[in-house]
Amino acid sequence: MGYTNEVGLAITATGYSKLLGHNASEVIVGCLESADEHSGNAQTNSHLFIWHCTKWDTSYSDVEALLVGLAEVDTSEYVYVRLGENSSDEEIMGNWSNNDFQFGFGNFLYY
């Protein structure tokens, strides 16, 4: 099966609109639609995407497009967490820590 990751993205409505306005928006939408779980907050229009046990590498065009798109979103508009199989393999971007989903991580993703 290979090396897998747990990945999550919580993003505000403003951040989501900006992400979808990126040049590679079709590829980004495909990446988001591939999430194992998707929740939305009807009051704030924010989103939470979760991918379980997924191969996640920047050499994949959809992952690269998502990360490039996120680089154009203000960090206060999202939180992105990728946890690899190795305990030292983690990537955290954004600082929307008081998000609508209470999304974050300890030794695991919680939401």
Q: What's the rounded Cα separation, in Å, for the pair 21 and 57?
A: 23
The topology (CATH level 3) of 5-104 is: Alpha-Beta Plaits (3.30.70)
The pLDDT tens digits for 95-105 are: 998 899 999 87
The pLDDT tens digits for 52-96 are: 999 999 999 999 999 999 999 999 999 999 999 988 899 999 999
Q: Rounded to two decimals, what is the model's pTM?
A: 0.92
